[in-house]
Amino acid sequence: MALAVVIGLLVSFLCPLHAQAVQKNEEKKININTASLTELQQLPRIGEKVAQRIIDFRNEHGKFKKIEEIMKVQGIGEKVFQQIKDRITVEEPKAKK
């Protein structure tokens, strides 16, 4: 009986910590202005060729000002954008105080 109580307490303590870790990991967005080839490939439907096109595009045209501009890259249309829009950013990370 005591073992069941201890296990119950451990589960109730560890589950929220795991959920926070998962949520924090999901919140980390990929900055399309600074991401490497490998980082860009972590996005859904973005393979090596399209990731390279993103890098080439930003090298040629400068930084993306808003995430929607990624649709100017060959291979990224509305459907792909809808799948990646919540996982990308153009903003620099905020400095921790």
Question: CATH code at 42?
Answer: 1.10.150.320
**Residue 22 pLDDT greater than 50, yes or no:** no
pLDDT of residue 59: 97
Quote the domain boundaries for residue 54. 30-89
pTM of the model: 0.70
Looking at residue 87, its pLDDT comes to: 98
For 17-72, give the DSSP string.
Answer: HHHHHHHHHHH--EETTT--HHHHTTSTT--HHHHHHHHHHHHHH---SSGGGGGG
- Does some domain include residue 51? yes
List all residues 6 or more positions away from 36 whose beta carbon is below 8 Å from its beta carbon.
none
Instruction: Answer for the pair 76, 60: CB distance below 8 angstroms, yes or no.
Output: no
Are the CB atoms for 32 and 92 separated by under 8 Å?
no
Count of domains forming the chain: 1
Instruction: Report yes or no on 58 lying in a domain.
Output: yes
Classify residue 75 by its DSSP letter.
T
Mean pLDDT of 6-12: 60
pLDDT at position 79 over 70: yes
